[in-house]
Structure 1
Amino acid sequence: MDYRQDIREFIGNNLTMEHEDAQIGDNDNYFEMRFVNSLFAMRLVDFVERKFQIEIGNEDLDLANFSTINRLHDLIERKLAAKEVAQ
């Protein structure tokens, strides 16, 4: 399943004020572009865990997993697949 639109909406709703009209592509690193602040990272992890009912472990807390829409989508897919196998 494609969760990119959910991720896009969350990111768009959490951009810093000076970037609220920015267009972010699926491979754009919004951290490097400074479109988000430090609180955003914590909100993003919380969003992913709640929205997709998965647990983000310490091993997943690599910024690379969260830095683009496509990378985050891949992490969600991996976590959901692992959760399904475990059930």
Structure 2
Amino acid sequence: MTTSVDHAAAIERQLLAFVEKHTKKTWTPDDDFFAAGAVSSMFAMQLVVFIESTFDVEIAGDDLVIDNFRTVGAMTGLVARLRGE
């Protein structure tokens, strides 16, 4: 039986891989890549599209704030919440 911890870890791995592929840098789940200047607002839109298509969720309204995309940890939490996990 898979647990919510297993799901969160899988989400986190996929998000880290996506961010690392596009930034060519290694990150931890708590690194703020916007504060580090490693990504742009255009990349934020790429993150939204990637998250919606990969995890079958819709990000809209109050969820479309930069704080939900600053770290892999924040994005993992967003996906879990949107999926009801």
TM-score of the two chains, using structure 2 as the length reference: 0.84
Secondary structure of 1:55 counterpart: coil
1:1-87 equivalences under 5 Å are 1=7, 2=9, 3-15=11-23, 20=24, 22-81=25-84
Structure 1 segments (4+ residues) deviating >6 Å: none
Corresponding pairs, count? 77
Between 1 and 2, higher relative CO (CA 8 Å, sep ≥ 6) is seen in 2
Q: Distance in 2 between matches of 1:31 and 1:45?
A: 15
**Cα RMSD for the two superposed structures:** 1.2
Unaligned runs of 5+ in 2: 1-6
Structure with larger Rg:
1
How far off its partner does 1:35 sit? 1.1
TM-score of the two chains, using structure 1 as the length reference: 0.82
Q: Distance in 2 between matches of 1:38 and 1:13?
A: 17
Unaligned runs of 5+ in 1: 83-87
